[in-house]
Amino acid sequence: MIEIIPAIDMIEGKCVRLTKGDYAQKKVYNDSPLEVAKMFESMGIRRLHLVDLDGAKSKHVVNDKVLRDICRETRLVVDFGGGIKSEADLEKVFDAGAAMATAGSIAATDRETVYSWIERYGADRLVLGADVREGKISINGWQEDSDIDLMTFLEDYLSRGIRNVLCTDISKDGMLQGPNIDLYRSIMKRFPQCHLIASGGVSSNDDIKALDGAGIPAVVFGKAFYEGRINIEELKN
């Protein structure tokens, strides 16, 4: 059974969603991420993906207070991403209560640092963020493209013990047009040991069922839920 993980994306402490990672295409859904997190918990959700979009843009963690509040006032298992560029950022995230931290841009731009985090904190506390556009890794809140091949990137980190991979197809994100199932299926075929979390484009319960049918272990969704297109009760059943 596929693991369902709702996402809360934050700008200025509010729950928002972007389209294709474009900060100019921002929609605010709720002024209180904590309120949204409590709602998810009341629905029986156990895991939350919390994204600091201010942090991703400014290259350091910004919304750690919201993380702390959610971890203190709910029992959700939270993984936190966005702006983690230094060990100080990582410590801040773990001190605030995150169970896991997502290493995205820094995993592409400073591998030696992330290798050291794997050694110090353990691979199970890190999620590899693989944000992909046309087969290449994007960085810094999707504002920049690199020349790093997705599959080579995954192979490197999986060989070092990383198991959790959050892969977002940027071209699909926020479009509500369905996920790139072929991409996720190809990753699972090449790396069957990977706990792959599919992200981007999920528009309905049927999309999640299709990912489940393709053998994808987990899925993150955001906009589709906030737009009333996903029924969590039905998914649980």
Catalytic positions? 9, 131
d(CA 66, CA 10): 9
CA dihedral 25, 137, 100, 141 (to 10 degrees): -30
- Give me the half-sphere count of Cα atoms (radius 13 Å) on the Cβ side of residue 221: 31
Closest to 172 (Cα-Cα) out of 124, 223, 97, 213? 223
Q: Which amino acid is at 130?
A: A
One-letter-per-residue 3-state SS of 188-219: HHHCCCCEEEEECCCCCHHHHHHHHHCCCCEE
Closest to 169 (Cα-Cα) out of 202, 140, 125? 202
Q: Across the chain, which distance is largest between two alpha carbons, in Å?
A: 44
* Structure-block tokens of residue 30: 């709720």
